[in-house]
Amino acid sequence: MSVIRFLRGIIKPYIIVFKHAISKPHTIKYPYERLMFSDGYRGRISLRFEKCIGCGLCSRTCPNRAIEMVEIEGEKHSFPQINFGRCSFCCLCVDVCPRGALFSDEVVELSVIKRDDLIYHPYKLSNPQPLESILKDLKKTITVQIEDGRLSYTLLRRREENV
């Protein structure tokens, strides 16, 4: 009996290793592949420039004082400028905006070399850089589902020129 238990103890780890060796990976190859988040994900904040009325409610609501209202030459009112170095992505500014001028998307790739580059002028806020131009090596975007405790991936988009 103890011999069987002994042999089982030796064989069992090999079986586990073999199972994992032939199963699909649970990780993705970022930045060549990227998971897309669910609707309502709080990522980068952007501005619909033409909708903003310059009321400043977003700036006054921001708990981190990340929004400054700035004047723009030739415009009748000021516009929000966001310092993403201070932003906690709470999206209170999005919720409070009476015109729906602010919105958040699923982009989280905001890292920069210089801290000042985290300050987004209204023009930069209203021209959000597409994900594909931030992640130049991106080939696939993927969603993930968990069913019965198992992960499964669904391919959303494939960048043809890189495949």
Interface with ligand SF4 (CB under 6 A): 45, 52-58, 61-62, 64, 66-67, 80, 82, 87-93, 97, 99, 101-102
Least distance in angstroms from the C-beta of 111 to ligand SF4: 16
Question: Closest Cα to residue 59, out of 42, 81, 76, 85?
Answer: 81
Residue 92, C-beta contacts closer than 8 angstroms, at least 6 positions apart = 61, 62, 63
Backbone φ and ψ for 153, nearest 5 degrees, come out as -110, 140
Question: Closest CB to ligand SF4 among 117 and 137?
Answer: 117
Minimum CB distance to ligand SF4 smaller for 41 or for 153: 41
Measured from the CB atom, is 57 or 134 closer to ligand SF4? 57
Judged by beta carbon, residue 81 or residue 141, the one nearer ligand SF4 is: 81
Measured from the CB of residue 91, what is the shortest distance to ligand SF4 in angstroms?
Answer: 5
Shortest gap between Cβ of 84 and ligand SF4 (angstroms)? 8
Query: What is each CA distance from 143 to 3, 44, 125, 151, in whole angstroms?
Result: 47, 19, 26, 10
CB of 61 to ligand SF4, least distance (A): 6
At 84, phi and psi to the nearest 5? -70, -10
- Beta-sheet pairing, 140-147 with 33-35: parallel
